[in-house]
Amino acid sequence: MASPFETRIEKLVYGGEGLAHHNQSTVFVPYVFPGELVRVIPVEEKKKFIRGRVAEVLEPAPERSEPPCPRFGVCGGCHYQHIPYEAQLKFKTEILRETLARIGRIQWTQEIKTIASPPFGYRNRAQWAVRPEGAPPRPAVGYFQAGSSSLAPTGKCPILAPRLEATLSALDEAFRTLKLPESIRAIECFADEAGEGMLLNFSMTRMKTSAAGLEKLLREVVPDFTSFLLQDEEAEKFELIGPGYVQYTAAGFDFRVGHLSFFQVNRFLIDEMVRAVVGDARGDLALDLFAGVGLFSLPLCANFGRVIAVEGNVATARDLEANLKNHPIARHRHTDTESFLAQWREKPDLVVLDPPRAGVTAPALERLRAIGPDQIAYLSCDPATLARDLALLTKDVADSAVRYTISNITFVDIFPQTYHIEALVKLQRLA
């Protein structure tokens, strides 16, 4: 391994690291600011590639700020707390534009609109690990350290919604005073928009007490949760106490969201995101692919004669069906997007895509081009797979008369203080 060296940070790249060069090697190092001179300790070295950590910031950027969280740089959850929020927005926009160009060959020179968030207190969902800490070892709750399976114990987290941070604090105290079983390994918490309804998921290596017994212990720590799902890893079973869901009000609609269903995590931006996705699009038919619990499906019902919502996850599809039952123009399909499109023949006016990080499969995109919707709204949580998929939708294909052009791009900052980038791209059919 090379000795420590000095280098100047050139720019930030996707993943939360700064990029620099040293002795003809590309260097990646986290928690830096463009323009800073830093001393780097290598932790991984390959041919023309070095990943390191900062030993000292020799020339800090004038804009560098003091992180509000004392665990920043140890906990792996945040990457940008040393960067003022307005600068975070600028850097993320640059990374999005550069990724589209580098991977998708999409030279977008027009404005990328930004939807900003309050920079703290935004998360309505969190996952915490529980591991033994100290001597003698006692269970502790927190997040994993950056790039590690070691725990960073904590009872506070400034990016959490107040209800979730209060729950984390209560759990931290309970584990430190041995009020909860040491066999608990993971906890997930989700709260509604008002912080009144809350779901708790607990995973245990093995259950020495009944779910009802654990619920009684838990109510002494967190008294007012709505529903509790317990996973016994050894027995490979789940036990549910409570209704199994909360009602979440967003964009003027009430959504049932279950223990295992996906829902957007930034409580401040959900309404604005829905407005951005749906926009002023109107017509006879809209397809909402990767529909989740129907966050976009229900608002689409106001603008379209028919809405077809497609969701492959079993638990989420159950919530989707319940959420659509009072909307007669909407229909749900419990299948994956690729299988659905393989059988679908009717041309829609609008298709909404909100895939997971892996993006949309190539066969699904090919079928989408063959079906030829007038408009596509693609909401992506990964700029690399977004760039790849946009390249397939916009390129000129010899055996296809249909291709698309990008009409606008919006960066939605769902995840302040982190490197994650959510982007909404609107596409218009050319032929």
* Res. 267: pLDDT tops 60: yes
Q: With bands split at pLDDT 50, 70 and 90, how would you rate the model's confidence at 428?
A: very high
**For all residues of the chain together, what is the average pLDDT?**
95
pLDDT score at 2: 73
Please tell me the predicted confidence (pLDDT) of residue 147: 85
Q: What pLDDT, in 10s, does the model give residues 79-93? A: 999 999 999 999 999
Residue 207 has pLDDT above 90, yes or no: no
Residue 124 has pLDDT above 60, yes or no: yes
Provide the pLDDT for residue 399: 61
pLDDT (0 to 100) of residue 400: 65
Q: Give percent of the chain with pLDDT exceeding 90.
A: 91
Angle (nearest 5°) at CA 281 between 252 and 415: 60
What does residue 299 show for φ and ψ, rounded to 5 degrees? -60, -30
The per-residue pLDDT for 401 is 66
> Would you state the pLDDT for residue 43?
94
Q: Which residues of 245-272 are buried (b: 16+ CB within 10 A; e: fewer)?
A: bbebebbebebbbbbbbbbbbbbbbbeb
Above pLDDT 70, what percent of the chain? 98
User: pLDDT tens across 14-49, in order?
Assistant: 999 999 999 999 999 999 999 999 999 999 999 899
pLDDT value for 397? 67
Is the confidence at residue 156, as pLDDT, over 60? yes
Residue 194 has pLDDT above 80, yes or no: yes
**What pLDDT score does 87 carry?**
98
CA distance 104 to 96: 11
pLDDT for the residue 210: 83
Q: Which tokens belong to 301?
A: 């019902």
pLDDT of 235: 82
| CA neighbor of 9 nearest in space, from 29, 30, 28, 34 | 34
Give the tens place of pLDDT for each residue, 348-357: 999 999 999 9
In angstroms, the Cα distances linking 182 to 135, 171, 216 are: 15, 12, 16
Does residue 263 register a pLDDT over 90? yes
Instruction: Report whether pLDDT(411) > 60.
Output: yes
DSSP assignment string, 81-116: TTS-HHHHHHHHHHHHHHHHHHHH-----S-EEEE-
Q: How confident is the model at residue 211 (pLDDT cuts 50, 70, 90)?
A: confident
Mean pLDDT calculated for residue range 134-141: 92
